Structure 1
């Protein structure tokens, strides 16, 4: 009986290997296959990541595909999308993971099947990842704090509206730590009212902060979408103060260009997409790659806002 199970196991491994080999043989022009999995397609940020990846596909002669949960089948969820891709046996997987604990076991299946995994956007604790390509979010937070501190005085108070769950988020928590460090070093006090309620909003949290801390002189938020909500509350209270966000979406940059805001910090989503494919190409060729590839952070001010807007506008056409 034991011998029978050994034979069946060997046959299963052989068939899985053959399936992968046949899949690769049937690919068009025998190009290497790279699948990029984004968290979603409809947000501006992810569209720019996709544009960078597609440029990489063309330049590095790769049979590439960009997908997001829900657009490969009727079922939703990153886990299901990854399971489907595993059956395609790509040469490399590029994925923007979420914070779900269920993602790591599925990514480990790729690694067990000798499919290198490149993480983008969020560097989750995947032990055998090949590389992380993206923003160092702690450094982003530090730069945002320094930018805000440069417009204030020691002893001033800064509002930091966020949700309680952001403190455990792999990206947002690092931004909070970095910003707090910079502001503390500048002698600026951070005030906040983290809210556990699912029905809450950044607007409500920001309103509460202004009610309890009327001397606030500036605002930092971990995303530009949060910043836009906080700005609405600031304006409703008839106040004028620097509001610094992160990500560098076009709506924020427009406000900087017209003088409503003084500046923000921006990620480089186009570089994240492009460099991830450049890295995948190197991996396929057997070249060594760095385990952590920082795509940098830009400081956006009135001086360079139009240039950034023109660049992003061209990408999104």
Structure 2
């Protein structure tokens, strides 16, 4: 009788152990694996998106891996995607490089039934599961409305962007609002390289030329903060004061508003973009239907909310 009881306890113990291991694997070990491949993380905008991704992975229990090409080139990103495919994740979240070949790389994930979410940069690709990011025409429209509110009908402004579909949409949206407000577009350029950064001499030459050709210019709308900041620098050097808007919401731009150097600007929400991408990826792993376009929103930054925005950025970038 005693031996039979011991045998029963031993069997019970073994079954319990097996059940505990199964439950442990399901709820602790086997987290959804999501890989995030960005174009670059070598600027503050990328760091803010990454902060949102990391917090989202922590909150939603995602096994997340964030990476980006060292030099931000399309060739590097495509090679990185091929390496990711060797140990395929449950979901791929990618900010696609500007290249006609990038979609063929992403199609390889779809062939293996790996959902692909686009973040920050959208593509007219039928097999994407969703796009998470900014409505760029809306961002431009809000920039135009803000500029119109700071100027008078008949005033002249310049529109400056880089050669990408994203920035063309922003300039397109701005033009609609400016024309509705009766603001004249004195100059427009979208020929700057996508590789231009905030200290790029080409940007400085562009704004200096525009100011020479249009000394009565009253405002400048740029497609990104990384173009707006050197514009402000040139204006300060020439002793000029006029409204300038960007589009990213990085600290340097928000500080210019907080200090009163600029009246206001518009800003994407890169932190929300990153966080929402994790939330969407989790739903996809659970076979929950998500929206085809998930809008991370656009903020208008003025002296009333600039400090609050800066405090938030300082917190997430610690």
State TM-score, norm by structure 2: 0.85
Q: Distance in 1 between matches of 2:171 and 2:158?
A: 12
Q: CA deviation at 1:195?
A: 7.6
> What corresponds to 1:53 in structure 2?
53
Deviations 1:206-240 (Å, cap 9, x if unpaired)? Answer: 11111111111111111111111111222222211
Q: Distance in 1 between matches of 2:218 and 2:190?
A: 21
SS at 1:150 equivalent: helix
> What corresponds to 2:14 in structure 1?
none
Q: Distance in 1 between matches of 2:38 and 2:77?
A: 9
Q: CA deviation at 1:64?
A: 1.0
Q: Distance in 1 between matches of 2:288 and 2:190?
A: 47
Q: Distance in 1 between matches of 2:98 and 2:190?
A: 20
> What corresponds to 2:41 in structure 1?
41
Q: Distance in 2 between matches of 1:176 and 1:152?
A: 18
Whether the 8 Å contact between 1:70 and 1:76 is mirrored in structure 2 is: no
> What corresponds to 1:194 in structure 2?
189
> What corresponds to 1:206 in structure 2?
207
> What corresponds to 2:257 in structure 1?
256
Q: Distance in 2 between matches of 1:54 and 1:43?
A: 17
Q: Distance in 2 between matches of 1:249 and 1:181?
A: 25
Please list, as runs of the form range in 1=range in 2, the aligned pairs for 1:1-317 lying within 5 A after superposition.
Answer: 29-70=29-70, 77-163=76-162, 166=163, 169-192=164-187, 194=189, 201-317=202-318
Whether the 8 Å contact between 1:162 and 1:205 is mirrored in structure 2 is: no
* Alignment gaps of 5+ in structure 1: 1-24
> What corresponds to 1:15 in structure 2?
none
SS at 1:260 equivalent: coil
Whether the 8 Å contact between 1:57 and 1:277 is mirrored in structure 2 is: yes
Q: Distance in 1 between matches of 2:141 and 2:183?
A: 13
SS at 2:40 equivalent: coil
SS at 1:209 equivalent: helix
Q: Distance in 2 between matches of 1:161 and 1:314?
A: 31
Whether the 8 Å contact between 2:168 and 2:190 is mirrored in structure 1 is: no
SS at 1:138 equivalent: helix
Q: Distance in 2 between matches of 1:188 and 1:37?
A: 40
CA gap 1:260/1:89 in 2 versus in 1, 3 angstroms: same
* Alignment gaps of 5+ in structure 2: 1-24, 194-199
The number of equivalent residue pairs is 286
> What corresponds to 2:18 in structure 1?
none
Q: Which protein has the larger Cα radius of gyration, Structure 1 or Structure 2?
A: 2
Q: CA deviation at 1:159?
A: 1.4
